[in-house]
Amino acid sequence: MIEYPAKDDAPRSHLPFSPATKVGDLIFVSGQASVDGTGKIISDSFEGEMRRSIENLRKVLESCGSDLAHVVQTRNYVRDATDNAEYNRIYMDIFKAPFPARTTITNCLSPALR
């Protein structure tokens, strides 16, 4: 059975995708950004935006009956490679060893998102 769980406090997007899709015990989460509950982008420091994005991920996982401790893989997009050290520091603060499998791509976001 395919489910599309979502609680009222989970972040929403105006784009055509579900925040998460659950199939059996697996949860597939769409990309999370520094947005409020309505999908409006909230600009902040790098740390503020990353922590807001992770908080949105936490809310989506919670709406599926899970949490950050059960994340097995992440895909990350970092606007500027100069933020990698801070990104790794925050990532290690949120996820604990053994860390989830991870792919991180830098300098790839549209100039409109800068």
Rounded CA-CA distance 49/33 in Å is 7
CATH architecture designation of domain 2-113: 2-Layer Sandwich (3.30)
Residue entry with tokens 């990350």: 76
pLDDT tens figures, 39-76: 888 899 999 999 999 999 999 999 999 999 999 999 99
Side by side, the strands of the sheet bearing 26-29 are 2-3, 20-23, 26-29
The token pair at 56 is 């949105």
Token pair for 24: 């059996």
Residue 45, pLDDT score: 94
Q: Exposed, middle or buried by CB within 10 Å (0-12, 13-18, 19+), for 56?
A: buried
Q: Under a CB-based contact definition with an 8 Å cutoff, are residues 11 and 32 in contact?
A: yes
User: Would you say 87 and 38 are in contact if contact means Cβ atoms under 8 Å apart?
Assistant: no
Domain boundaries, the chain: 2-113
pLDDT at position 33 over 70:
yes
The model's pLDDT over 78-113, given as tens digits with 9 standing for 90+, comes to 989 999 999 999 999 999 999 999 999 998 866 655
The residue ranking higher by pLDDT, 40 or 11, is 40
Contacts of 40 (CB under 8 A, 6+ apart): none
Apex 3 CA angle, 31 and 14, nearest 5 = 40
